[in-house]
Structure formats: C-alpha cells, structure tokens
A and B are shown apart, each in its own frame.
Chain A
Amino acid sequence: MQRYRNWYAKLLRFYPRAYRERFGEGMEQTFNDLCRERAGGGLFCLVLWTFSETSAAIIRENAIMIVRCSMNRGSTIFLRVVISLIAIGALAVCIFPLPRMFAREAAKTPDTAYLVYFFLGGAYVLAIPFFFGLYQTFKLLSYIDGDKAFTELSVRALRHIKYSAITAGILMVAGIAAIMVLSAGTGEDIAGVVMVGLIMTLASSVVAAVAAVLQKQVQKAIAIKSERL
C-alpha cells in the first residue's frame, strides 16, 4: 500500500504548483484513507480508478491554469512563433529537397520510377492533414489569447487536430504497408524507412490522444463554466 501512496504523491506533482500547495496534502490524506478502507480487497481497482480520475483532473487544472496565465500575459506568442517556424520549415522541405530527393531515387531505378513518384504524391497528401493540424493549433492559440479558450470554437479546433492526426497516422501506416508489400522479395533494405514511418505514426497517435483528452477536458470545463462553478 505504501508503494501506491508514493506513486500517488508523485502523480500529484503534475498539478500546478499553487494548486498542489493548497490541496496536495489533503489529497494524499484522502487517498490514504481510501486505500485503508479498501485494504481488505479491491485495492488495485480503486488505485487504478483514482489514478485515472486524478490524471484527468490534473490535465483539466493545468489547462485552466495555462489559459489563465496566457490571458494575463499573452504568452501564446512564443508557441505561435514556434508553430509558424515548423510550418515554414515543413513547407520549405516540401518545395525544395523532397522532390529533388525523390527525383534522385527515380533516376537510380528508372524501371520503377513511377513507384517513387507515387510515394512522392503520398508524401504531399500526408502534408495536407499535417498543415491543417498546424493551422488548427494556431487557431486554438488565438482563441486562448482572445479569451475564447473554453468555448465550442476551441473544442472544434481540438476535434480537427485529432482528426488530422488520425488521418496522418492512417496514411503513414498505409505507406509503410505499401513499402513492405512492394519491397517483399527484392531484398532491399527498408528498415530505416519503416523505422522513420513508425516513429512518425507514433507521434501522430500521441498528438491524436492528447487532442482527444484535451477536447474532453475543455468540454467539461465549458460545462463547469456555464454552470458557473
């Protein structure tokens, strides 16, 4: 039981500092009381439930705090600059090195050049959800700055981010599958390409999951706000 208590204390560190200082001790005590009550049986289920419930609350409190801070200072400017730089960088890659790289590959294997161009097309299709997701993130940040963080607008932006991440992930998986099928029996070394693809798939899954959780928490926060508490 002591182990669970230590884990819970560690989990509480993810709360905003002010909140933790205010309620951390009480929450730990309450968790200990709950554990003691269930010491006879069902402790594991209780721990699992409490951890997930508290994690959701941590995300919510952090989101509320970030929004409060950024409304005071307009600190989303930094994030907006970062997103703009990512977008510009990705656009530059799409325009210059990407076609050149594919053209070089195609020149190496003229017989299967059409396949190389097929994948180049795929990369540009993949860029659509990527840029759309970035644009929606940019929009979300401007909502936060404009005091519209907990509105249906940001829920919509988060939903769009989630869907574009899912779309990117699906495209990536399809691309990996296509590479594996096409290279089967040719003896080509595709481990590197597949690895990069898998990492990018993982990244888009993480983005989708975070957007989904945030969307739910913002919806909850809207409910709290509309009911005034």
Chain B
Amino acid sequence: MTYIRDGYSVRGVQKDKSHTPLTPAVLHILLALSTQERHGYGIMKEVESDSEGKVKMGPGTLYGSIGRMIDAGLIRESDKRVDPDIDDERRIYYKITALGQATLAAELERYREVVAIAKKKQFAWNSLAYGV
C-alpha cells in the first residue's frame, strides 16, 4: 500500500497513532533512522545536522530514548559491526521497525495538520511581536 498526500509518500506504511505525540528526542531519532541504520554516535550527528545544530542530544537522553523506543517496538538492534569511518571498534547499529515507520508517519501527519490549522487561522510569525 502506498500512502501519498501533499507530495509526501511513505511506501508500505500505515499510520499508527498509538504512540503519538512523540517527545522531540524520539521524533528526531526516528527521523535519523528513517533513511538508514545508525549507531549511537551516528544518530547523534544526524540529529545535529538535520536540525542544523539546534538540537543537541547527550548520550544520557539518547540512550534513555533508545531504550524506551526498543521496548515500545519502534526501533530494534540491527547488528554489531565496525564503522570504518571512525575506528575498528564494533558498534551496535539500530534500525527502525515497521511500527516505528508507521508511528513516524502518523506523527508527521499530525504536525502537518497542526500547521494546516495555523495556516487556516492566518497565523503570521510576526504576530508573536504582539505577545500572542
């Protein structure tokens, strides 16, 4: 099944709202893992570059979230292998699951709906200047 809307498509994924809304950390980790498997440091770097340095995640938050996400079935450990770009130590790679993809899709859909509501209300960023 292909899910297409507003130019956004996720192949083979159904929405799963049982875990939404997600915390920012969980959302960013899911986004980082949506394209490929990564190890802890790789996730951290991807989140940092995705958010242009705005989101900085420490190891405590990262692995705390990873633990809860594994327990919830959103991601899983893939395997332990060497990252040739770093050194010859073997690292555990994490992989997004089908449930994780579905949850990410549902969360992004939720965000889109929120933005659509804001647009409908003709919310302008400069209205913040009036203390809104």
Residue numbers of A with Cβ under 8 A of B are 19, 22-23, 25-27, 29-31, 33-34, 36, 49-50, 53-58, 60-61, 223-224, 227-229
Instruction: Closest B residue to A27 by CB, please name it.
Output: B59
Q: Are B60 and A58 interface neighbours, CB within 8 A? A: yes
B103 shortest CB reach to chain A, Å: 9
Describe B's contact surface by its main secondary structure: helix
Once the chains are docked, how many angstroms separate the CA of A12 from the CA of B80? Answer: 21
Q: Are B23 and A224 interface neighbours, CB within 8 A? A: yes
With a CB–CB cut-off of 8 A, which chain B residues contact A19? 67
Once the chains are docked, how many angstroms separate the CA of A217 from the CA of B125? Answer: 32
Q: Are A229 and B19 interface neighbours, CB within 8 A? A: yes
Once the chains are docked, how many angstroms separate the CA of A99 from the CA of B102? Answer: 69
> Which of A60, A61, A228 is close to B19, meaning CB atoms less than 8 Å apart?
A228
> Which of B21, B58, B64, B66 is close to A50, meaning CB atoms less than 8 Å apart?
B58
Describe A's contact surface by its main secondary structure: helix
Q: Are A26 and B40 interface neighbours, CB within 8 A? A: yes
With a CB–CB cut-off of 8 A, which chain A residues contact B41? 29-30, 33-34
Instruction: Closest A residue to B89 by CB, please name it.
Output: A29
Q: Are B22 and A53 interface neighbours, CB within 8 A? A: no
Once the chains are docked, how many angstroms separate the CA of A60 from the CA of B69? Answer: 16
Contacts A50-B59, A229-B19 given: A23-B69 contact, CB under 8 Å? no
Once the chains are docked, how many angstroms separate the CA of A31 from the CA of B52? Answer: 21
Complex interface residues of chain B between 1 and 49 (CB less than 8 A to chain A): 18-23, 26, 39-41, 44
With a CB–CB cut-off of 8 A, which chain B residues contact A227? 21-23, 26
